[in-house]
Amino acid sequence: MIIAVDGPAASGKGTIARALAAHYHLPHLDTGLLYRAVGVSTARAGLNPDDAAEAAASINLDDALLADPELRSEAAGALASRVSKHPAVRAALLSYQQDFARQPGGAVLDGRDIGTVIAPKAEAKLFVTAAPEVRAKRRHLEDSHADYAAILADIRARDARDSSRSAAPLRQAEDADLLDTSDLTIAAAVQRAIALVEARIRR
């Protein structure tokens, strides 16, 4: 079974995807990490993340880089959002993600375009969202040194960039179930996600 989990920054999609993977004993891929790796290697090479050819030339999916804690930073998230708008970058990451999705037994993938582009035939698709203010508050709780207003502005900018780009924009697939986590605890959101997947499997 392939489960596609998409949604904007800090919506809870990563936590939900990991919990679904554990529940169904499936491998999990955080596809945002791939774009973060491209963004960080572009910046480290002194190249321009807004230039399609320079970003595409920096694609490096070494295990060591994918495990680098710097990839988790807000700066890496912003770089990821800039390189991810280039069709050449998205095309270069396509087979890695599709091979992961197609492994025997299936997989859980989370990102922005899993249900729409990477695995359009996934058995279950969730579109996880939450109000921007709630998402900014979550990020602020993770890193209280950062300024709340700046986090909120970054989330809004990233939403706008991810939703308005022409290559695989962030959007809910027509056959995806919407899960708004604004008023849900993590446990309640995970429970709801499992119930939505179960309902899909039974159909």
Binding residues vs ligand CDP (CB under 6 A) = 9-10, 14, 31-32, 35-36, 77, 80-81, 84, 111-113, 158, 162
Q: Which residues pair with 124 in a beta bridge?
A: 3
Q: Between 25 and 63, name the residue whose CB sits nearer to ligand CDP.
A: 63
Q: Between 62 and 198, name the residue whose CB sits nearer to ligand CDP.
A: 62
Contacts of 103 (CB under 8 A, 6+ apart): 27
Q: Between 1 and 169, name the residue whose CB sits nearer to ligand CDP.
A: 169
Residues 17 and 28 sit within 8 Å (Cβ to Cβ): yes
Query: Whose CB is nearest to ligand CDP?
Result: 32
Minimum distance of ligand CDP from residue 172's CB (angstroms):
14
Read out DSSP for 102-153? TSTT-EEEEESSIIIII-TT-SEEEEEE--HHHHHHHHHHH-TTS-HHHHHH
Minimum distance of ligand CDP from residue 77's CB (angstroms):
4
Minimum distance of ligand CDP from residue 5's CB (angstroms):
10
Q: Between 143 and 198, name the residue whose CB sits nearer to ligand CDP.
A: 143
Percent helix, percent strand, percent coil in the chain, to nearest 5: 55, 10, 35
